Amino acid sequence: MKFNIINEYDPLECVMVHRPGDEIERLTHNNMERFLFEDIPFLKRMQEEHDEFCDAMRSRGISVFYLEKMLLELLGTHAAAKQSLIETVCRVEGVPAIAQELLNTQHFPDESLLQLLFAGLTTSEYQKKTGRRSPPSPAKEDYILEPIPNAYFSRDPAVVVGPTVISCKMHYFERVRETILTRSVLEHHPEFAGQTITYGGSRSPTEDRPFTIEGGDVIVLSRDALLIGASERTRSETIEVLAKKAFDEGHVKRVYEIPIPTERTFMHLDTVLTIVDHGVVVWFPGVMEHIKYIHHLEEDDSGQVVRKKDSRNLEQILSDEFGKQVEIVRTGGGDEHFASREQRTDGTNTLALAPRVACTYERNTRTIAAMEKAGIECISIIGSELVRGLGGPRCMTMPLRRRSADEATV
């Protein structure tokens, strides 16, 4: 496969997802807020909803890759990658002493290792598996390795821009392992052989924390331009470092930094703005129509990144980038009451499967009506359990390839 994402709306060909698993069962009333959940989902129904979502994509001819399946294949066939992955996870999470024990296939065969990479490992589980006293751990509660219940939001650990990948750096420590797992698959699985991680690869320690960035804040406008949200999760300093790398590599020419409120409901730019076709956006007016300034980043003749406040508002910027007056579909149909309700259930977080074909939760009825009025075909999916982690269809997918117009004519 060759990665290719030059915008948000060309026909989607391949995505990577993670089907929610036993890590969701680790959530309790006491820890759910620390793990960034609003409630405790019902796993069985959550999996059924996720399966229906993936079936909807497959029915449109989209190939769906599962992170957990590719990771299991990697564990079973690539010894060096497996060792590096386990050692990195244990080092980052403060328990390097158990790395070699986890690599002991007698105690932890590949299937068990895969499970604990997502669901975590408690002290009692470690003792039962190994017969040994567990080492001191910085993890909270009874965990040596904590679970990662947000892993089904596969948008955030990495994002494809053009033919390359940005390996992201999570703001919250509870999500750091998601990046490590995803990066290992992207770097070592044979399906992705020859692809390039242009930012944040395992050999780029200077592009690591505290320079945090998450995939939900990155929106690919075109071959030439990116929108990146300066949010709770993505630092302005990171955007500048990333812009410099993108300019040097020739991937884009312009980066727009969009500041959004650092509130839980607006955690990423794609929770308040998505693109469903050339010149057509869905946005939450309560945020997008109150942005006071936007920074424009470009490279000057000496190769330095120049940052300046753009004199245009976002509507003008989008219209200029699209070469036409942008068409805005407002969350909740623009009604303040329903916009607030449907923002909470990810009405703005749509995923374009093709131009003017967008996937969204069926519960966002007012936003769906507004999109359909604008001529957008809506693929509605059930999300009663999936939505409890505060994320929609775009959050749950990492697009790997879209068929661009020039390829379609070949």
Distance between CA 389 and CA 372 in Å, rounded?
Answer: 27
Angstrom distances, CA of residue 232 to CA of 210, 211, 268, 306, 390: 13, 12, 8, 23, 15
Q: Active-site residue among 14, 90, 168, 395?
A: 395
Tracing tokens 């390359």 back to the chain, one arrives at: 164
The closest alpha carbon to 243, from 287, 179, 299, 187, belongs to 299
The closest alpha carbon to 274, from 351, 354, 327, 344, belongs to 351
DSSP string of 250-277? TS-SEEEEEE---SGGG-SGGGTEEEEE
Distance between CA 246 and CA 164 in Å, rounded?
Answer: 10
Q: Annotated catalytic, 395?
A: yes
Count of helices and strands (H, E) across the chain? 13, 19
| Phi and psi, residue 165, nearest 5° | -120, 140
Q: Is residue 234 a contact partner of residue 259, using CB atoms and an 8 Å limit?
A: no
CA 46 to chain centre: 18
Distance between CA 328 and CA 273 in Å, rounded?
Answer: 10
Phi-psi region of 359 (alpha: psi -120 to 50; beta: other; left: phi over 0): beta
Q: Could you give the residue numbers annotated as active site? A: 395
